[in-house]
Amino acid sequence: MTNSKHNNFDIVVIGGGPAGYVAAIRAAQLGARIALVEERDLGGTCLNRGCIPSKALIKCAELLAIPSAAKRFGIAFAEPKVDIDRVRAHKDRVVKQLVSGVETLMQANNIQVFAGHGRLASANEVQVTSDDQTTELQADKIVLASGSVPLELPIPGADGDKIVTSDEAVDLLGPPEALVIVGAGYVGCEFAGIYSAFGTQITIIEMLDRVVPAEDPEASDLLARALKKSGVQINCEAKVVNISDVQGRKRIEYEQAGEVQPVEADLILMAAGRRAYTEELGLDELGINTDRGRIQVDEMLQTNIPGIYAVGDCLRGAGLAHLASHEGIVAVQNALGEVGQVNYDAVPGCIFTHPEIASVGVKEHEVQARGLDVTVGKFPFSALGKATAIGEREGFVKLIAEAGSNRVIGGTIVGPAATELIAEITLAVETGLTLDEVAETIHSHPTLSEAVGEAALAGLGRAIHLPPT
């Protein structure tokens, strides 16, 4: 074992995912000398095992649907054939290219990367352990960006074989004949779409009363209908109580409406969420405040120990890559004397299912509980020219605005390109735009973005392409 104390930095970042590597780049832009510590792969879960590989697989699944959809347009294709090895190669190629891009960015910004496990030795020292070598880094400030790991449920038999999490689901050797997905959040529903497209029989088991339960109920209903149409069986208000092996397969028993029901599958995907990964960081020894393993910070993203900041999934468990990146930028700006803040009321969420779902800010079903007086403007894609032309008429755009001021405080989109269109509503929420200002903005025709302008007009009671109510 070797020790070295000649490594002195302005900021040491622990974790090379979207929160950590973005924080490192922003700090370097501000002239700081930066070290980045990563024990696995640059890009973290998002790039290597989450957002990026799953979206590569989603694209493959979308291509499989083209022949069937094309028939409605009078175009015929031969029945598609899946070469799972080439599908996996595409996913691996995308990940490799983007990881290489992050490595290049580290070099271009003169960020020194240390491979190994980072641990706080003091408020100004990080110990990096890799194999039999230990390196000690001195830092004026430290940013913790250790990310998250899949949540393990206390279900009897859940530690057996043929049980995977989202981390492994992107690397399956081939689609199983039958798959049970435990959890109907965005991860569970995205993988249901992927593997049902590849011919797998999917059963979803969800404890709450609907799929993607954090979203607008209308969005949940549309997605549930689409999943069921593709052959996915959905069991809500159901709880898995036991997992066992039966003749080479997995037997899942779940309780629903007071009765225990069995279902068999070749594989089980545990998609019930993630938890903050903060083990072996030295938090307790330094007295850093945590809540159920999640690091606690103030509005500056600083912990109770001055000079130590935390960002991303280690704050909340399940998280969003874009929020983690923004927090990384804000944290280092605050650490280096710049002004930085996060508007948590303007964080978009995206679900890459079919139909896509995206939302930001206040959702309609939250209004009553929050005691808000609002105006709702809703416009269906079925009334939009571009959506009709491309055969994507399912879904809607919904805007939530404060009554009186008409200031946009939230919105939900379900349908084609929802994850792209949400950017306009996010900008409206962030900058305090009103329904009038969104409506007065000229939207290109024919485009899907017109639905956002029409939703604003609907909220004002003067929608052009909807009949009077």
Which residues are annotated as catalytic?
445
Cα–Cα dist 111/95, whole Å: 21
Query: Which parts of 170-257 fold into alpha helices (H)?
Result: 186-197, 217-229
Cα–Cα dist 98/21, whole Å: 13
Task: Classify 123 as helix, strand or coil.
Answer: coil
Tokens of 215: 């979203």
Task: Classify 453 as helix, strand or coil.
Answer: helix
Query: Which parts of 134-185 fold into alpha helices (H)?
Result: 166-169
Tokens of 181: 């997905």
Cα–Cα dist 167/123, whole Å: 32
Where do we find the tokens 């830092």? 139
Cα–Cα dist 400/363, whole Å: 7
Cα–Cα dist 420/402, whole Å: 24
Sequence-distant (6+) residues with CB within 8 A of 449 are 421, 424, 443
Please calculate the CA angle 34-36-38 and round it to the nearest 5 degrees.
Answer: 175
DSSP 31-77: T--EEEEESS-TTHHHHHHSHHHHHHHHHHHHHHTHHHHHGGGT---
